[in-house]
Amino acid sequence: MAMMLSGMCTSVQAALDEMFAQSHGLTGRWRECSDRAFAKMRRGFSAQVFDQLNVTLLALARPLMDAHRWHGLRVVAADGSRLCVSTRRGAELDADHYAFALYLPGAELTLHATLHPADGSERQMLFESLDATEPDDLLVLDRGLIGNAMCCCRLKTDQQIEVLPTEN
State pLDDT tens for residues 64-117: 888 999 888 888 888 888 776 665 566 655 557 788 888 888 888 888 888 888
More confident residue, 2 or 17: 17
**What's the residue count for the chain?**
168
Element (H, E) at 22: helix 12-23
Domain boundaries, the chain: 63-168
Q: What is the Cα–Cα distance from 76 to 104, expressed in whole angstroms?
A: 5
